[in-house]
């Protein structure tokens, strides 16, 4: 019997016995069969996490002990890199080399929070009084619902699990129903590393089936979600019923601004990568190209030429440079998105039709696509495709470039390209986005916070604040020599 649900230190099937098939988006082959959890399974996981946390068994561990646990997990991830990369590529269809990069980043995330835990200390304050000790302490927030996406399933789950463990929380992990395999393996490694039973709990299945349970149950203290804007809004509304804290990373429509004085060879190369890496299924993808008018033709023509050369294929294709979309349903959404853009007046320059060659016909492949003559009134400029579609806009002045870059409800990331340092400093300061790259696109480090402005979400992951999300702050005031206050007169 399939048993991919992990509750109170035990692997078990779904309570109703239901299962779900996971098929590769590269060719439709069966890669896994997992338990298909429902509300009853989620409730059992919440009970386990609540009991675990309230017992104090793990939350009472010292920061150093939890740091050791995280370091052990990092070592186990490095040991199992081949296994994990194959699981990740099986679920997502991405190239093995990309999955290996992801596992390395996951390990680095655990090491970052292990170090942060060692460096974490309570703050002793100056009370101004000789007989008073005043300090600020940091305590685990409690039981956490951690809900991950399908595009970088292990990496973005690690951004939640690592700080939760570092803080001493207990949690319920819910990976995407499309890509659960690496989350299952991560739980096995957490178990192997020595986390007490009940600290880490996993329920595989559809968010539609039990997502509300994870966000409304009063026994849950905190919800961290990465995914789409409509679901994020729903979580905020549902979580408000019990006034629990929420951290959301909801994607972006990210401007990549190229000035005429930039190193165009480098800027164009990065523009291609920013738009088409992982077939555009990246929350920070640079799918809005905003280019200064004098260089528009040169830049766009070269990007189109490069886009035509990109080789598509599955994990086993060593010549492939990018892979398929995650599902047939997502491919249809990308096709509808493109059709709407063209109907609004965008000009299709390359791509635009799903791949039907014999080699790719069994998977969900869509080629790199470029839409020119775009403006911010268009749906294709304002909304995410989460696919390999690059839109092109033009500008004439710095002010216009900044205005265009900010003309979006989102604010996750963006980039500016120019040899003029003063210009870059101004644009990077005035862009309303959580991460801005200057003469670069895409790098991040676990030591730096990640998150967005506006509709891209609230809260932050990674960095120091990524740990703070999982902590409650308490002020403790100790009067070592108490005397009567004398505020009210004692008339007896």
Give the pLDDT confidence of 233-278 residue by residue, as tens digits.
999 999 999 999 999 999 899 999 999 999 999 999 999 999 999 9
Residue 318: phi and psi, rounded to 5, are: -70, -15
| Active-site residue, selected from the candidate residues 144, 283, 380, 424 | 283
**380 noted as active-site residue:** no
What does 161-181 look like in DSSP terms, one character per residue? Answer: HHHHHHHT-EEEEE--TTS-H
Tokens 């939760």, residue?
A: 164
Using the Cα atoms of residue 192, residue 172, residue 210 and residue 8 in order, give the sign of their dihedral. Answer: positive
| Active-site residue, selected from the candidate residues 177, 249, 393, 469 | 249
CA separation for the pair 246, 221 (Å, rounded): 9
Amino acid 330: pLDDT: 97
Is pLDDT of 490 > 90? no
CB 132 within 8 A of CB 159: no
Of 372, 355, 268, 269, the closest CA to residue 314 belongs to 355
Amino acid 447: pLDDT: 97
Is pLDDT of 3 > 80? yes
**283 noted as active-site residue:** yes
Is pLDDT of 491 > 90? no
CB 252 within 8 A of CB 411: yes
Using the Cα atoms of residue 66, residue 71, residue 72 and residue 78 in order, give the sign of their dihedral. Answer: positive
Find the helix or strand (DSSP H, E) in which 244 lies: none
CA separation for the pair 144, 147 (Å, rounded): 10
Give the pLDDT confidence of 437-486 residue by residue, as tens digits.
999 999 999 999 999 999 999 999 999 999 999 999 999 999 999 999 88
Reported confidence tier of residue 121, pLDDT bands at 50, 70, 90: confident
390: which strand partners? 370
CA separation for the pair 459, 412 (Å, rounded): 12
Is pLDDT of 160 > 90? yes
CA separation for the pair 491, 201 (Å, rounded): 60
Q: Which tokens hold the place of 176?
A: 């995407």
Is pLDDT of 492 > 80? no
Give the pLDDT confidence of 53-108 residue by residue, as tens digits.
999 999 999 999 999 999 999 999 999 999 999 999 999 999 999 999 999 999 99
What does 186-200 look like in DSSP terms, one character per residue? Answer: HHHHHHHHTPPTTTE
Q: Which tokens hold the place of 242?
A: 């019990």
Give the pLDDT confidence of 163-209 residue by residue, as tens digits.
999 999 999 999 999 999 999 999 999 999 999 999 999 999 999 99
Q: What angle do CA 21, 27, 31 make, to 5 degrees?
A: 35
If 0-12 CB within 10 Å is exposed, 13-18 middle and 19+ buried, where does residue 188 land?
Answer: middle
CB atoms inside a 10 Å sphere around CB 355 = 17
Q: What share of the chain is helix, strand, coil (3-state, %, to 5)?
A: 40, 20, 40
Amino acid 326: pLDDT: 97
* pLDDT > 70 fraction of the chain, expressed in percent and rounded: 100
CB 460 within 8 A of CB 466: yes
Stronger pLDDT, 489 or 303, i.e. the higher one: 303
CB 246 within 8 A of CB 212: no
How confident is the prediction for the chain on average, in pLDDT?
A: 97
Specify the 3-state DSSP secondary structure of 10. strand
CA separation for the pair 114, 66 (Å, rounded): 7
Is pLDDT of 1 > 80? no
The residues, ordered by sequence, that sit 6+ positions from 361 with a Cβ below 8 Å of its Cβ are 355
Is pLDDT of 398 > 90? yes
What does 96-117 look like in DSSP terms, one character per residue? Answer: HHHHHHHHHHHHHHHHHHHHHH
CB atoms inside a 10 Å sphere around CB 400 = 15
Give the pLDDT confidence of 133-158 residue by residue, as tens digits.
999 999 999 999 999 999 999 999 99
- Please count the helices (runs of H) and the strands (runs of E) in the chain: 15, 22
Specify the pairing of strand 200-202 against strand 170-174. parallel
CA separation for the pair 236, 241 (Å, rounded): 9
The residues, ordered by sequence, that sit 6+ positions from 202 with a Cβ below 8 Å of its Cβ are 4, 5, 6, 7, 45, 172, 173, 174, 175, 183, 184, 187
Give the pLDDT confidence of 305-322 residue by residue, as tens digits.
999 999 999 998 999 999
275: which strand partners? none
Is pLDDT of 415 > 90? yes
Is pLDDT of 387 > 90? yes
């Amino acid at each position: 019997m399939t048993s991919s649900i992990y509750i109170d230190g035990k692997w078990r099937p779904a309570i109703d016995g239901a299962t779900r098939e996971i098929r590769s988006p590269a060719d439709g082959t069966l890669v896994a069969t997992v338990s298909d959890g429902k509300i009853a399974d989620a409730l059992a996981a919440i009970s386990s996490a609540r009991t675990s946390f309230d017992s104090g068994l793990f939350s009472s561990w010292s920061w150093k002990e939890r740091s050791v646990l995280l370091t052990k997990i990092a070592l186990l991830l490095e040991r199992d890199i081949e296994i994990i990369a194959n699981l990740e590529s099986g679920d997502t269809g991405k190239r093995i080399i990309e999955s290996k990069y992801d596992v390395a980043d996951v390990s680095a995330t655990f090491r970052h929070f292990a170090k942060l835990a060692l460096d974490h200390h309570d703050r002793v304050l100056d009370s101004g009084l000789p007989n008073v000790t005043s300090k600020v302490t940091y305590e685990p927030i409690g039981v956490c619902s951690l809900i991950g996406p399908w595009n970088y399933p292990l990496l973005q789950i690690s951004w939640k699990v690592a700080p939760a463990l570092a803080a001493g929380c207990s949690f319920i992990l819910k990976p995407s129903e499309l890509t659960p395999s690496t989350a299952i393996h991560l739980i096995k490694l957490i178990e192997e590393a020595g986390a007490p039973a009940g600290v880490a709990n996993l329920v595989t299945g559809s968010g539609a089936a039990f997502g509300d349970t994870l966000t409304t149950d009063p026994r849950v203290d905190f919800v961290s979600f990465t995914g789409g804007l409509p679901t994020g809004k729903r979580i905020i509304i549902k979580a408000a019923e019990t006034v629990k804290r929420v951290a959301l990373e909801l994607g972006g429509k990210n401007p990549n601004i190229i000035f005429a004085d930039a190193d165009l060879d480098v800027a164009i190369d990065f523009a291609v990568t920013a738009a088409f890496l992982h077939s555009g299924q990246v929350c920070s993808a640079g799918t809005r190209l905003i280019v200064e008018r004098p260089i528009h033709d040169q830049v766009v023509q070269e990007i189109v030429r490069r886009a035509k050369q990109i080789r598509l294929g599955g994990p086993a294709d060593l010549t492939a440079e990018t892979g398929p979309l995650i599902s047939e349903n997502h491919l249809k959404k990308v096709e509808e998105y493109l059709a709407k853009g063209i109907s609004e007046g965008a000009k299709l320059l390359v791509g635009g039709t799903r791949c039907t060659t014999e080699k790719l016909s069994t998977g969900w492949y869509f080629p790199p696509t470029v839409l020119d003559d775009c403006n911010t009134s268009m749906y294709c400029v304002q909304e995410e495709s989460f696919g390999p579609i690059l839109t092109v806009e033009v500008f004439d002045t710095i002010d216009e470039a900044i205005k265009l870059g900010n003309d979006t409800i989102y604010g996750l990331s963006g980039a500016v390209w120019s040899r003029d340092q003063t210009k870059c400093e101004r644009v990077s300061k005035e862009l309303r986005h959580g991460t801005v790259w200057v003469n670069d696109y895409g790098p991040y480090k676990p030591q730096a916070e990640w998150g967005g402005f506006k509709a891209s979400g609230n809260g932050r992951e990674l960095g120091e604040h990524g740990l703070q999300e999982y902590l409650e702050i308490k002020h403790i005031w100790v009067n070592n020599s108490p005397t009567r206050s004398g505020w009210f007169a004692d008339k007896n």
